[in-house]
Structure 1
């Protein structure tokens, strides 16, 4: 029988490393394009303040990128260590975009980052600008392939289970790449990263303006951040709406859980603005907006939105079909030439994953009782209320940033960048909010997919490795400790860079003369910095 404690600890470990890692990713995406925009202005105008701005924000980008690499590599090893059956079962599909990401996107990004830092005095202005834009594109290509892999887990298209190899295999790689869920997730995720970069630049620029330091650079950076941030905030909300529509097509249970909607709503369904659980755990007191839910999720006035109860009934039917597929698979394994069993399996294989849900309750699922089928169907319902409130936190922050950047864009267009100290302080203290919204979005995407590690194909509990509780407790504690230390180091390094302020030359992290165990930010000529870092 499945040890659910091992499964839960494995989930906690991957969630911890993934959410730590995604502290760095959005800022990398946002800063990469912002420094490319600033260097473009420098090349077009020749004004040194834009070169200084590119170096300053690029240094912060470099620190963040290094930490993102250090925390991201571990996650790929966890697929084999903590989720070995998952790696066996779907590695043929999932491994392909990860390999492409490493070979194409990551090497592209890493190579041009080196040229960005050490090519200022060796490349022409235009040549270095091309390098900076390629760095930004490399960061986005990296996100693309990761989200193609994740999108396939949400909507497993272009693949089929092979009863001879006992694993999922690709049948249409282009369908995997152009998976509508993956494409919607990609544009929504990178837009959130752009917004994060804009908030970061605006917050640090506000700090400089409050202190009256580096005013010329801060004013220009704030103008770029206000414009880029407004476009990003609008994109996040619009593309988030598209992501929700795609989820309605392929993950109806997730949508029903986000709305705490147990009963099927007639078309067009309302959207619940706020709500509280009643005595039975279902939606009690709530405030709803008529028609909005149906328009957002179905783009129509005549399509009803199925509720949790109806979806559970559908799951029961699919579990029964999954039992038929499982029985046919056992016959094929006993006699590979049994064509009748293969014909049955071809008809029912799409529901095999639903049949595997019964493995939580018994090994011989072909003998499952009706009660066990009902329990397995109930397992297809994720925890409703954490999803309900997390979704509203994410949406609220998305609309907040539209208003926030609209105000900043208006003031920037009037030249009122540093004339309102309360707004500057407010901008500084909003710095953590994009990460709250982004982590909420990933919580919704991954927690809302449960009980599936691959939607409708492989239950999460069935994908874990046969580790012990002690193994997982020790490794989870170690990862949390190490990642926390890395985040502290990153924050300290960034604080040192910000305190040192923008410089005219290449910024390099060098040991302090008065304390060799500490680090400070030193401005060195480009050729000397290269020699020192090389040694």
Structure 2
């Protein structure tokens, strides 16, 4: 592989790894804030225990997300210097604001929340965790604004003398039509992931025999909260994804066609079907058997069951005329890797639907009285598997969605302006990229072991006990417990 392929692999590995923590932290920050709000409203110690329990797990993921996110910035200068030179005037603006405003908000108030238990007024302490969540949302908004420019460039002008894209309208970048549909889609997917995270750990404690009987009602509360978030946020993902599909068809028709491996145009009036699964060649050119939903692709792309959908071949011909002269390899042309786009799109949706189904099933079981619902989960091997699976369904769905978004744009680094192979650093050799990729991959492997180990350790330990007293003061704790968990 040459430097371009290795640079793409490295960015893909580090980005997907980093993106494991992003939806968890966004979703958990809101759920922890809600738990603490419930405690202050009801003074029920169970909500306080849940707040502290999931607050620890949230902090572990936040720290890992912080460490892995720093690497993303380095790669723009290391492996993608030509890209950075070309689009840095635009791409750098939202990233700078994200670091100065959103990340500052997150980290500052998270520290205040962690070390402020019993030391600052309760309402101020509660406001701190809400501001952490607002910071995570703002962070997502500005990063998505930068990425949306790559999908649909707006608010810029090309300087023929410098050969750079220069920012002319920052508001246009922040209100990019792709951004306005991507942000709610990512946020609802993150809330779905946070709900699944809470549900998974709560189910485990409801399932295991070692959980004290008096703690079961507390974990039942957590399970219900997580399940409701999983299902309701999942509906939000479906609605926002439907709108996003129509915008994607407008600005990136090749990506939509590649998502279905649709090679020939489907004229208006016929209705293009959507295949749930297809057996045939990997590139989708030869189909042996397919399970299809009639006219669904037309609806996803146009909002009409009879709407026309452009095929890959026609779009390829049009792009060849529009972008004549672009430096493309013979193997790349203007089509993404069809098997990747086809299957990542379906895996994304399939995992999301399975996660929602587990959440709905949990709500059904938990709808009855406490004793009955807890008994139905305790020791039940099916719920043990469900609890393990639900943790990963929305999480991996997020990852496959990100893979589809980025791989579906190929061979463009910035849609219509810069191809991927022209954005790589010209002075960096394949050996250099391979070395840094191996180092980062090994480092991330060590971090993964640490993260999983810490999550399992504190997840299995469960929520710490507090006195069954509505006037409980978190500041009153034994000196031995002061540093039980190091943030």
Q: TM-score, normalised by structure 1?
A: 0.83
Residue equivalent to 2:313: 309
Asked whether the 8 Å contact 1:262–1:307 carries over to 2, the reply is yes
Deviation at 1:278, TM superposition (A): 4.4
TM-fit CA distance, 1:468? 0.9
Q: Select which of 266, 273, 279 maps to 1:276.
A: 279
Counterpart among 443, 449, 459 of residue 409 in structure 2:
449
2:59 paired residue number: 62
Counterpart position of 1:207: 204
**Deviation string, structure 1 residues 104-133 (Cα, Å, up to 9, x no partner):** 100000011011111111222222111111
Contact kept in structure 1, 2:159 and 2:165, CA below 8 Å: yes
Alignment of 1:514-529 (within 5 A): 525=478, 529=482
Q: 1:250 to 1:527 in 2, by over 3 A?
A: farther
- Counterparts of 1:157 and 1:276 in 2: how far apart (Å)? 39
Residue 236 of structure 1 aligns with which residue? 237
SS in 2 for 1:22: helix
The answer on 1:298 being equivalent to 2:302 is: yes
Partner of 2:383: 424
Higher relative CO (Cα under 8 Å, sequence separation at least 6) belongs to: 2
Q: Distance in 2 between matches of 1:531 and 1:205?
A: 22
Give the distance between the partners of 1:123 and 1:237, measured in 2 at CA: 41
> 2:471 is matched with which residue?
none
- Report if the CA contact (8 A) 2:196-2:355 is conserved: no
Is 1:178 matched with 2:183?
Answer: no
Does residue 405 (structure 1) correspond to residue 356 (structure 2)? The answer is no
| Cα offsets for 1:323-381 (capped at 9, x unmatched) | xxxxxxxxxxxxxxxxxxxxxxxxxxxxxxxx3335x5xxxxxxxxxxxxxx59x6110
1:357 aligns with 2:354: no
**How far apart, CA to CA, are the structure 2 residues paired with 1:453 and 1:49?**
49
Shift of 1:496: 1.5
TM-score (norm 2): 0.90
Question: How far is 1:501 from its partner?
Answer: 2.1
* Residue number in structure 2 paired with 1:335: none
Distance in 2 separating the partners of 1:468 and 1:258: 33
3-state DSSP of counterpart to 2:49: helix
Query: Residue 519 of structure 1 aligns with which residue?
Result: none
- How big is the shift at 1:302? 5.2
Q: Residues 301-339 of structure 1: CA distance to partner in whole angstroms, max 9, x if unpaired?
A: 55410001100110121133xxxxxxxxxxxxxxxxxxx
The answer on whether the counterparts of 2:354 and 2:393 sit within 8 Å (CA) in structure 1 is: no
Query: How far apart are the structure 1 equivalents of 2:61 and 2:133?
Result: 14
In structure 2, C-alpha distance between the alignment counterparts of 1:494 and 1:232, rounded to whole Å: 24
Pick the aligned partner of 1:389 from 343, 351, 357.
343
Query: How far, CA to CA, are the matches of 1:15 and 1:481 in structure 2?
Result: 15
- 1:251 — aligned with what? 252
CA 1:163–1:52: 2 relative to 1, 3 Å = same
- In structure 1, the partner of 2:133 is 136
Q: Partners of 1:319 and 1:293 in 2: how far apart?
A: 27
RMSD (Å), alpha carbons: 2.2
Deviation at 1:382, TM superposition (A): 0.7
1:191 aligns with 2:185: no
Q: Deviations for 1:117-156, whole angstroms, at most 9, x for unmatched residues?
A: 1111122222211111111111111111111111111111
CA 1:219–1:286 in 2, change beyond 3 Å: closer, same or farther? same
Q: Distance in 2 between matches of 1:278 and 1:205?
A: 43
CA positional deviation for 1:36: 0.8
Larger CA deviation: 396-405 vs 73-82 = 396-405
Q: Which runs of 5+ in 2 are unaligned?
A: 467-475
Match of residue 160 from structure 1: 157
Give CA deviations for 1:436-463 in whole Å, capped at 9, x if unaligned: 2111111101111100111111000000
**Structure 1 partner of 2:438:** 477
Question: Distance in 1 between the 2:440 and 2:242 partners?
Answer: 35
Q: Provide the residue aligned with 2:219 in structure 1.
A: 218
Alpha-carbon spacing, 1:263–1:187, altered in 2? closer, same or farther (3 Å): same
Label 1:117 to 1:282 Cα distance change in 2 as closer, same or farther (>3 A): same
Q: Does 1:30 align with 2:27?
A: yes
Q: Is the 8 A contact 1:118 1:530 kept in 2?
A: no
Matches within 5 A, 1:83-102: 83-102=80-99
Give the match's secondary structure for 1:160: strand
- 1:194-215 per-residue CA deviation (whole Å, 9 max, x = no partner) reads 1111111111111111224132
> Contact 1:260–1:283 at 8 Å: present in 2 too?
no
- Cα distance, 1:49 vs structure 2: 1.3
Deviation at residue 401 of structure 1 after TM alignment? 2.6
